[in-house]
Amino acid sequence: MKDTLSLKRMLALSWVYLVILAGGSWVMSSWSFAWAVLAGGVISIASFFLSYRDVERFFKKMLESNQEQLAEKARKINKGLIVKFWLRLLVIGVVLFVLIKYSNINILGLILGLTTVVFTITFSALGGVWGYYFSRR
């Protein structure tokens, strides 16, 4: 339950960060730059959510297995997880290729948007460390 709340919190923070980043980009630069940030952020957040869901299903299936089935089931599920990862990476690559090749998208804005989840994870980790060290005093 706590992990699900943590995921919801991380997703909410990602969306908040993306809105702030896209809004700031719009004010500081232009709408086309802000649109690129928004596109990259949506791709990043969607990929994070789908990856988390796949890993969560993997562990749920592993916990449901008994010891005899565990090794065989782990190999089978692990292969599926790896295939999904590579397919998701391929889809992201195709989407980015189409956006860059056939659209007038700002590359720097797209890269900035793709960092949305990375910054959210970094800021959440720093917040956790900050809370850990200063709550003990």
Which two structure tokens, joined as six digits, stand for 2? 């706590």
- Total structural domains in the chain? 1
- pLDDT tens per residue across span 108-132: 999 999 999 999 988 888 888 888 8
Domain span including residue 6:
2-127
> For residue 10, what are the contacts with CB-CB under 8 A and spacing of at least 6?
48, 120, 121, 124
Q: Is residue 136 part of a domain?
A: no
Q: Is residue 55 part of a domain?
A: yes
Q: Is residue 133 part of a domain?
A: no
Q: Is residue 132 part of a domain?
A: no
Q: How far apart are CA 93 and CA 119, in angstroms?
A: 21
Per-residue pLDDT at 47? 93
- pLDDT tens per residue across span 70-110: 666 667 777 778 888 899 999 999 999 999 999 889 999 99
- Residue 62 or residue 42, greater confidence: 42
Q: Is residue 111 part of a domain?
A: yes
- Residue 32 or residue 55, greater confidence: 32
Per-residue pLDDT at 1? 45
